[in-house]
Amino acid sequence: MSETISIPLSKRVGGIGPSATLAASERANQLRAQGVDVLDLGPGQPDFDTPEHIRDAGVRAIREGRTRYTPAAGIPDLREAIADMYSHREGVVYRPNEVMVTAGGKQGLFNIFAAVLNPGDEVIVPTPYWVSFPEQIKLAGGIPVYVDTEESDAFSLRAETILDAVTDRTRMVVLNTPSNPSGAVIGREQMQDLARLAIERGIYLLVDECYAALIYDGAEHVTPLVVGPEAQNITILCGSCSKAYAMTGWRIGYVAAPAPLIKACSSLQGHSTSNATSISQYAALEAITGDQTPVRQMLTTFAERRDAVIPRIREIPGMTTVEPRGAFYAFPNISELLNDELPTSADFATWLIDECHVVTVPGTAFGRDGHLRLSYATSMSVLEEALDRIAAACEKLA
């Protein structure tokens, strides 16, 4: 018998673990398969179907045989529609060669880190952060430099927060607005200060705006371009159809950035995945240029759920929470509920699954222990039952 040969993995992938958010959903599915009545507050995706007119556009693309390779950076009509959307929204000119289509926002971000970073370059990542930022930065050879936003300041990101972290090696600051997991939205004045700082120091502001369509209470979504076209050189916008149009499975994202960076990213994509799925691109064209009523309807439903969930969380002894202003997550502080048996939020989340069969994502996944992420991208009845169960479980800890 030949010996089993074990060829080692690269150092690059050595430190990467599975995504904690996907892991939480997998755990829920495993328990369900065993017949356990699990309630899942882990989902990072809308619980709605893709609107019909968008699905129809995908079906039409298949019927019309639009099933071949497209240019790596996307079909011209879609690039033009994205450029128009940004030009209109931002009040500056974006040309089609300054935008590209990617396989989800995730690939857009991956392309950007790979195209900008050299080994040892630093990227400032405010906490709490979305799980994939640090891993993608490290894969590109960069070093994530974490700065904490203050919970007492509703997790707002301010220029003062990042000032001390900027060094000669800083290439980029990641701005995720609205934020997953905190729901914080960067305000106009804060964004102006951040943009001025980035222009002065010659660093990119990478705005992950995957949740830009999901903002409550009339809050506005702003980008570094609030200071005018002089910010265009340092601004990278990364958007997605996933959350706004309930299109997570279609895998369409997009990037707007200076033309040389888009050119580099599209060459990179041309040698890796090539184009995002042709059929999905036609569906995305309909999503972006077609009727926006479904987006408003989904937003209204998310807002109703948020308004129901936040007061319920605040009633649970030991839990406090900031009100999210965007996205579809609450990020309560549970530090008062931690103890010697449950020292971290990861232990607490596992305990919640065992104790009351409710799946949440621990704050450790987002660089902020002492918190839980609860998704309200699920029905009101599931939310109510899950919060009843969590409240009853927490009473046992008191």
Task: Tell me how far, at minimum, the Cβ of 44 lies from ligand PLP, in Å.
Answer: 4
Please identify, using beta-carbon distances, which residue of 70 and 107 lies nearer to ligand PLP.
107
When asked if residue 104 is in the footprint of ligand PLP (CB under 6 A), the reply is yes
Q: Specify which residues 125 forms β-bridges with.
A: 146
Please identify, using beta-carbon distances, which residue of 90 and 208 lies nearer to ligand PLP.
208
First-last CA distance in the chain: 59
Distances (CA, A) of 42 to 8, 71, 85: 33, 36, 32
Candidate list 111, 240, 278, 345; residue touching ligand PLP; CB under 6 A: 240
Axis-axis angle for helices 104-116, 132-139 (nearest 10): 40
Q: Distance (Å, rounded) from C-alpha 60 to C-alpha 316? A: 49
Q: Which residues contact 62 (CB under 8 A, 6 or more apart)?
A: 279
When asked if residue 253 is in the footprint of ligand PLP (CB under 6 A), the reply is yes
Task: Tell me how far, at minimum, the Cβ of 299 lies from ligand PLP, in Å.
Answer: 16
When asked if residue 51 is in the footprint of ligand PLP (CB under 6 A), the reply is no
When asked if residue 248 is in the footprint of ligand PLP (CB under 6 A), the reply is yes
Please identify, using beta-carbon distances, which residue of 20 and 143 lies nearer to ligand PLP.
20
Q: Distance (Å, rounded) from C-alpha 123 to C-alpha 72? A: 27
When asked if residue 370 is in the footprint of ligand PLP (CB under 6 A), the reply is no
Give the binding range for ligand PLP (CB under 6 A) out of 100-108, 145-153, 158-166, 263-271: 100-108
When asked if residue 44 is in the footprint of ligand PLP (CB under 6 A), the reply is yes
**Considering only CA atoms, which of 115, 197, 103, 132 is closest in space to residue 158?**
197
Torsion of CA 385, 297, 361, 339, to 10 degrees: -60
Q: Each residue of 71-84: b (16+ CB within 10 Å) or e?
A: ebbbbeebbbbbbe
- Other Cβ atoms closer than 10 A to 347: 15
Task: Tell me how far, at minimum, the Cβ of 175 lies from ligand PLP, in Å.
Answer: 11
Please identify, using beta-carbon distances, which residue of 122 and 208 lies nearer to ligand PLP.
208
Candidate list 170, 242, 266, 269; residue touching ligand PLP; CB under 6 A: 242
Task: Tell me how far, at minimum, the Cβ of 284 lies from ligand PLP, in Å.
Answer: 11
**Interacting residues toward ligand PLP by CB under 6 A:** 44, 104-106, 130, 176, 180, 208, 210, 240, 242, 248, 253
